[in-house]
């Protein structure tokens, strides 16, 4: 395993000043995984993004938590991490990569947060990380999700144009498909998601091959088992308008994982941290203040989501 540092990146317009840096971690299969970091090291939050996105989706959270160190890897095939020429994009591969990232960051007293695909990765990695997290936060993700909705996400991804004349052209697509996201975050997302190839040529950073990755049927059982084995506090944050984590799914989740706390964020769909960043950031900041406080601190009492 080798680690190399890259140049700091800018914070999106409208966000509070916060220093962002980058590093690369050499993982299995000879690939390099890019990791964004904010604040002090070692980080207090390890953040795992969802399908087709990248660690850049957590910038608003980083700006809202300047007193904490945060780290957000780009999963292989996503963001600024390497594409795998052999298309090894299984959840197991992502879990192995996350373990290497955690080792490189020397994580000690931290929260593990995963969104969507990242929630599955976090669930299976929680018991295998070099040091266990203080708590695990799943953001609109977990086992038992609607197979129809999941298939729709992959199909929409494969139908995407992968080349654009400018970030503004891609922004038009994002505005149509992510109407709840505040304009500054959407504009930053349009820039972060693209790689410049020439003066008027940009390409999506996510590997198209991600859309062909079928999840093994056995992963569902592994995820439910993984949740039962988590011995630290567990919080599920779902978007109240999410098409994946609907009320019926949430009821099943609570019945099968009774130790988990559940919070619903209003005016948010699947991309909770982007759709309603002010509420999501406040919730995570409060949760971190309690779970990263000395052991024995009072349990979480979150005000009603707005």
What is the Cα 89 distance to its own chain's centre?
16
Sorting pLDDT into bands at 50, 70 and 90, what band is 123? very high
pLDDT 10s digits, 248-257: 999 999 999 9
Q: Is it the case that residue 178 has pLDDT exceeding 80?
A: yes
* 13 vs 236, higher pLDDT: 236
Please tell me the predicted confidence (pLDDT) of residue 294: 57
Q: Is it the case that residue 306 has pLDDT exceeding 70?
A: no
User: Cα(66)–Cα(46) distance, rounded to whole angstroms?
Assistant: 15
CATH code of 53's domain? 3.40.50.1820
Average pLDDT over residues 33-45: 95
Please tell me the predicted confidence (pLDDT) of residue 92: 94
Average pLDDT over residues 65-76: 97
Please tell me the predicted confidence (pLDDT) of residue 302: 47
Sorting pLDDT into bands at 50, 70 and 90, what band is 152? confident
Please tell me the predicted confidence (pLDDT) of residue 132: 95
Sorting pLDDT into bands at 50, 70 and 90, what band is 149? confident
The residue count for the chain: 306
Question: For residue 78, is it within any domain?
Answer: yes
User: Cα(156)–Cα(142) distance, rounded to whole angstroms?
Assistant: 21
Question: For residue 305, is it within any domain?
Answer: no
Sorting pLDDT into bands at 50, 70 and 90, what band is 181? very high
Hey, which residues does 12 pair with through a beta bridge? none
Question: For residue 167, is it within any domain?
Answer: no
Sorting pLDDT into bands at 50, 70 and 90, what band is 238? very high
Q: What is the pTM of this model?
A: 0.90
Please tell me the predicted confidence (pLDDT) of residue 29: 86
CB-CB neighbours of 254 under 10 Å: 14
Q: Please give the structure tokens belonging to residue 70.
A: 């945060």
Phi first, then psi: what are they for 25, rounded to 5°? -115, 125
Question: For residue 205, is it within any domain?
Answer: no
Question: For residue 26, is it within any domain?
Answer: yes
**Domain limits at 31?**
3-143+220-291
The structure tokens 């000395």 sit at 294
Sorting pLDDT into bands at 50, 70 and 90, what band is 305? very low
Q: At what angle do helices 183-192 and 167-177 cross, to 10 degrees?
A: 130
Sorting pLDDT into bands at 50, 70 and 90, what band is 6? very low
* 97 vs 306, higher pLDDT: 97
Mean pLDDT, the chain, whole residue set: 89
Sorting pLDDT into bands at 50, 70 and 90, what band is 7? very low
Please tell me the predicted confidence (pLDDT) of residue 258: 95
Q: Is it the case that residue 3 has pLDDT exceeding 60?
A: no
Question: For residue 247, is it within any domain?
Answer: yes
Stretch among 60-74, 210-224, 241-255 having the lowest mean pLDDT? 210-224
Sorting pLDDT into bands at 50, 70 and 90, what band is 28? confident
User: Cα(25)–Cα(157) distance, rounded to whole angstroms?
Assistant: 27
Sorting pLDDT into bands at 50, 70 and 90, what band is 17? low
Question: For residue 302, is it within any domain?
Answer: no
Q: At what angle do helices 91-105 and 117-125 cross, to 10 degrees?
A: 60
> In the chain, how many domains are there?
1
Q: Please give the structure tokens belonging to residue 54.
A: 């990248």
Please tell me the predicted confidence (pLDDT) of residue 214: 73
User: Cα(32)–Cα(24) distance, rounded to whole angstroms?
Assistant: 6
Question: For residue 201, is it within any domain?
Answer: no
């Amino acid at each position: 395993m080798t680690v190399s540092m890259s140049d700091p990146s800018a914070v999106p317009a409208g966000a509070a000043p916060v220093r962002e840096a980058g590093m690369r971690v050499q993982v299995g299969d000879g690939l390099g995984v890019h990791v964004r970091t904010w604040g002090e090291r070692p980080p207090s939050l390890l953040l795992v993004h969802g399908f087709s996105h990248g660690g850049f989706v957590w910038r608003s959270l980083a700006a809202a938590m300047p007193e904490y160190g945060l780290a957000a890897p780009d999963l292989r095939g996503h963001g600024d991490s390497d594409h795998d020429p052999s298309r090894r994009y299984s959840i197991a591969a992502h879990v192995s990569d996350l373990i290497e990232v955690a080792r490189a960051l020397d994580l000690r007293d931290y929260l593990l947060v995963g969104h969507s695909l990242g929630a599955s990765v976090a669930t299976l990695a929680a018991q295998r990380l070099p040091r266990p997290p203080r708590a695990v936060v799943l953001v609109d993700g977990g086992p038992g999700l609607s197979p129809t909705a999941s298939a729709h996400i992959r199909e929409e991804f494969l139908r995407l144009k992968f080349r654009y004349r400018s970030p503004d052209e891609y922004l038009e697509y994002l505005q149509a498909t992510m109407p709840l996201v505040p304009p500054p975050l959407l504009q930053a997302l349009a820039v972060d998601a693209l790689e410049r190839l020439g003066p008027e040529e940009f390409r999506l950073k996510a590997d198209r091959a991600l859309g062909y990755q079928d999840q093994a049927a056995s992963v569902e059982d592994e995820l439910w088992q993984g949740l039962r084995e988590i011995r630290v506090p567990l919080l599920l944050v779902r978007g109240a308008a999410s098409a994946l984590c609907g009320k019926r799914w949430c009821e099943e989740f609570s019945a099968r994982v009774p130790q988990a706390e559940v919070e619903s964020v209003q005016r948010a769909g699947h991309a909770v941290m982007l759709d309603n960043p002010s509420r999501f950031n406040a919730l995570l900041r409060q949760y971190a203040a309690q779970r990263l406080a000395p052991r024995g601190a009072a349990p979480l009492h979150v005000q009603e989501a707005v």
